[in-house]
A = this chain, B = another copy of it.
Amino acid sequence: MEELKLPLSESVVSIIGMGLMGGSLGMALFKGGFCKEVRGVVREESQALAVVAAKAAHVAGTDRKRLLGEADLVVLATPVCSIEEEILSIQPFLRSGSVLTDLGSTKASIVNAMDKLEGDIIAVGGHPMCGKETSGIGSATSILFEGALWALIPTRNTRPHGLELLLELISVVGARPAVMDVERHDSAVACVSTLPYLFSVALMAVVSEAGQDNEFVRELASSGLRDTSRLAASNIRMMKEIIDSNRGHVQRILSMSLQRLEDLGHLLTNKDTKGLCDFLKNAKEERLRLFPEGVPEAIHGPGAPRGRG
A residues whose Cβ falls under 8 Å from a Cβ of B: 129-133, 141, 143-149, 151, 176-178, 180, 184-185, 187-189, 191-193, 195-211, 214-234, 236, 239-240, 243-244, 247, 250-251, 253-258, 260-265, 268-269, 271, 273, 276-277, 279-284, 286-291, 293-295, 297, 299-306, 308-309
Contact = CB atoms under 8 A, between A and B. Distances in A.
Contacts of A132: 297, 299
How many copies of the shown chain assemble into the complex? 2
A215 B185 CA distance: 10
Nearest to A186: B216
A151 B151 CA distance: 47
Residue of A141, A209, A263 ringed by the most chain B CB atoms within 10 A: A209
B251 A287 contact: no
- Nearest first, the 7 A-B pairs at minimum CB distance are A130-B300, A204-B283, A196-B228, A148-B300, A201-B283, A232-B287, A204-B286
A203 B21 CA distance: 27
B254 A151 contact: no
A82 to B, nearest CB: 16
B290 A268 contact: no
B205 A224 contact: no
Contacts of A288: 233
A83 B210 CA distance: 28
A124 B206 CA distance: 29
